Structure 1
């Protein structure tokens, strides 16, 4: 038995970690790490109308009544394209509205509302977050990430940092824009 004891010990030293790793994966005890702060849309939405060569876009559907979450989203649409620094010509904020009338001018200061096509507005409304999120679109017209709106001031500021962090990472590794 002494003859095979070292062999069994050596076999256990290599097989035991593999067995534990397999057990962790099958029992779903391990959740893979993610680096993005937004929520990936699966599958991403595609709209040719959104495609702007060389430009990443932040999309927001303006609701009929603008509350604090809406005001925070409008703040992000104005500030984040400037906050990316040297890459600010590669980022734009796009405010989608169903109708141009009835919006307060002080809320829209610095933003140009755009009449989004009805199919795009319906697609965004049909997502899990609807009009209660900021969406990120790539230069090819794929709307690939959502950032659900925050309601209180510290959370709104943290959300802006999250969007900026993801956007800077995408701009750094992007080959399309």
Structure 2
């Protein structure tokens, strides 16, 4: 009888250890995978995240809370500039009924290209804002600025029109997702 009891006791210990292993080992493996970067972390944004974000409260303090696609007008408007202006206009138009929650904005400085500023009349949906402070934004990129006036994503615009259109699609996908998730703006 004692032989049967010890066999049952050994079998129940093995079952208990197996049950613990089934639940604990995956947790330990997951923790190790996260700590050691054994996989690429998923990202759903198509633009490049700014870490840390750029605070634009000084520049946009008087503006109502909206999601913005911001471009800084350079001293000389070249193909990159033309592609950026076209892109932010097209993205704003593609937003459709959500376009009232977003704004295509060009920041102008004293050094901005005057002929390009005059050409902005071709884009009636693109707003302009004159400021001496560009908050360190580069003029070869379009920035997504949230309703709290933080530049959080950017898209580097290329000379090639096809590349600029592809970047516009990425921008549109990101801004649609942000508008869907946001209750503000």
Q: TM-score, normalised by structure 2?
A: 0.77
**1-structure distance, mates of 2:129, 2:35:** 48
Q: CA offset at residue 148 of structure 1?
A: 1.8
Correspondence for 2:182? 174
Alpha-carbon separation, structure 1, partners of 2:145 and 2:176 = 14
Structure 1 segments unaligned to the other structure (5+ residues)? none
Pick from 26, 32, 35 the counterpart of residue 23 of structure 1.
32
C-alpha distance in 2, partners of 1:105/1:97? 8
SS of 2:154's equivalent in the other structure is strand
1:103 corresponds in structure 2 to 115
Once the 2 structures are TM-superposed, how far is the Cα of residue 162 of structure 1 from its aligned partner?
1.1
Which runs of no fewer than 5 residues in structure 2 stay unpaired? Answer: 1-6
2:57 matches 1:69 = no
How far apart in 1 are the matches of 2:82 and 2:57?
Answer: 26
TM-score norm. by structure 1 comes to 0.80
Q: Distance in 1 between matches of 2:49 and 2:113?
A: 32
Q: Does 1:160 align with 2:160?
A: no
Larger radius of gyration: 2
Residue of structure 2 equivalent to 1:87:
98
- In structure 2, how many angstroms separate the alpha carbons of the residues matched to 1:142 and 1:26? 30
How many matched pairs? 170
1:39 aligns with 48
